[in-house]
Amino acid sequence: MDLNTLWFLLIGVLFTGFFVLEGFDYGVGVLLPFLGKTDGERRRILNTIGPFWDGNEVWIITAGGAMFAAFPHWYATLFSGFYLALFLVLAGLILRGVAIEFRSKDERPSWRAAWDWLMCLGSALPALLWGVALANLLKGTPIDAGKTFTGGFLDLLSPYTLLAGLATFALFLTHGAIFVNLKSTDPIRSRAVRVTKRVGPVATVLLLLFAAGTYVWTDVYAHVGGDPGLVPLLALGSLVSAGALIHREKMGWAFAMTTLTILFTVATLFICLYPRVMVSSLDPGWSLTIYNSASTPYTLKVMSIVAVFFVPVVLAYQAWTYWVFRHRIEAETKLEY
């Protein structure tokens, strides 16, 4: 394995970690106005993700930084071509962060209700648009010989990419509902179970349609990129298993299965891309790869040495955080938001 492949793999791992961890944050945010019937209940729901949400966002910052350093041409083309879509994602993330911090600054019910709905919107936007963005990497966008994106925002929207957005939205919603169930008590817990049983089958159908669409609207069938083998089937199998576990109300195992679903889904996309990082719809020869978009070998070598020392520290710290705040949010728990 060369350093180019190693850093492509590492960026894939960072994106996977981000979607697994931030995925339940998005789901909790979208469900906030629906699962919480009183201010106290909504504060308890927010406290389920309170210790984690800002730390979870670090994963995408790290992924963007790694992309910038390891594959600067990929970073430049992606962030310039997907500018409006990524701006909307950023706006949603900012809106969500402000909503969490501002809702408790005033006790008026109208003030808190407004921020709760803005929290819902700020979570729904990224949950939808991340799927659209990832699908575009594989489907292809208008990139010319100079590695420049020549299209507009509407070029990013197609039946396939919108289907991907809906699939990630439904999957994150299911993931978040299970997380609320694991971290709360009744009546919130029982409401989360009902939502999970309704949304889970929708997520399964959408993921099946997305998998079928990938073979219809991309070049995966031609094996231009890597062969995902059984990985897509593992993603679907994990989601089906999650459905069965949800029906039996074994939510801990169901959460593990939705985690694996997200992991295998992102892994499938990155495997199908390899060794490309962005597909050109104008000419396959103009696609960006891990070689024509990479930094110098010396840069990749130095980055690898730094990553060996600091990545384990970050992982250990985040694991410690989840262990410390592993308990359920009870009715008598001190609420921060």
pLDDT tens for each residue of 135-186: 999 999 999 999 999 988 888 999 999 999 999 999 999 999 999 999 999 8
At 334, the pLDDT band (50, 70, 90 cuts) reads low
The CATH number fitting domain 3-139+146-324, selected from 3.40.50.2300, 1.20.1630.10, 3.65.10.10, 3.40.50.1010:
1.20.1630.10
Mean pLDDT computed over 200-219: 92
3-class SS at 141?
strand
What share of the chain has pLDDT > 70, as a percent? 98
Angle at 210 between CA 25 and CA 133, to 5 degrees: 55
The predicted pLDDT at position 221 comes to 75
The predicted pLDDT at position 335 comes to 63
In whole angstroms, what is the distance from residue 66 CA to residue 15 CA? 11
Using the predicted structure, report yes or no on whether residue 35 has a pLDDT greater than 90.
yes
The predicted pLDDT at position 333 comes to 65
In whole angstroms, what is the distance from residue 26 CA to residue 28 CA? 6
Q: What is the pLDDT of residues 119-144, one digit of tens each?
A: 999 999 999 999 999 999 999 999 99
What share of the chain has pLDDT > 90, as a percent? 73
For residue 326, what are its two tokens? 């592993």
pTM, 2 dp = 0.94
Cα 223 to Cα 1, 112, 228, 233: the distances in Å are: 20, 51, 9, 17
